[in-house]
Amino acid sequence: MAPFAKMNGLGNDILVVDMRGRDDVVTPEAAIALASDSRTAFDQIMAIHDPKRAGTDAWIDILNSDGSKAQACGNGMRCVVQALAAETGRRVFTFQTIAGILNASEHDDGSISVDMGTPEFRWDRIPLSEEFRDTRMIELQIGPIDAPVLHSPSVMSMGNPHAIFWVENDVNVYDLERFGPLLEHHPMFPERANISIARVLSDKEIDLRTWERGAGLTRACGSAACSAAVSAARTGRTGRTVTINVPGGPLAIEWRERDDHVIMTGPAEWEFSGALDPKTGVWEPDAAETGAVS
């Protein structure tokens, strides 16, 4: 059995699983079983493995609730940092993921910053199925040709593919539960995509809702918040430092000018801990509740 903590980042449900010292992995079958249990239902599993690369603290394997792999999960990384900080007393960490190296730190007020790296704008690296020289706005729409409901998204990768549809109305009036799956699986996105609806409130604030690839409608998606912030700055809608309001609460995003790294800052919250079988997903709660993964 592997220790785990059920946590959340602004309502983005996360399971942080400690796989250190083991040579197995959390299987897709286990992920699906855990996602189907109301007590352990999650958006992402963050499985902490022994480091594969010198100078890093851990390899993080990320799974979606449908059992598929995810390259990045900003809210999940904040949960990992909080769990490891509670265990070790340390504040600064370096992790390796499929998307690359991520640095993260916990602040005195309990908030956590994650350096999500640099965004990718090239069509073939997002990736898209056809060439667009300018990915600030591509030809894609939902609805009638002469009156589309959503159209002309900004697209980019923040370690995983994102499409941001800009709207003038309240983001909650759009039926993202219906449009999200259609757009996630659109032929334009050979690796599927995270689909977001964004409304600019000012040059420093954006409202955002996201249909998360492999997870569905979510209360928070850190990489989507980063993508919305970068795309807003890139299209002249905002500056490079903004507050992104997701259904779970606000995230502070800075697209740092000196190196183009995207820094996401927000909270993480521990709920309960237990142990699980990484092969089957069978689990049991801990008798004593503790915030550390140990």
Active site residues: 73, 221
Residue type, 77: M
* Torsion (CA) 2, 42, 141, 244 in degrees, nearest 10: -100
CB 199 within 8 A of CB 48: no
CB 281 within 8 A of CB 253: no
**Number of Cα atoms under 13 Å in the Cβ half of residue 68:** 13
C-alpha 255: how far from chain center: 16
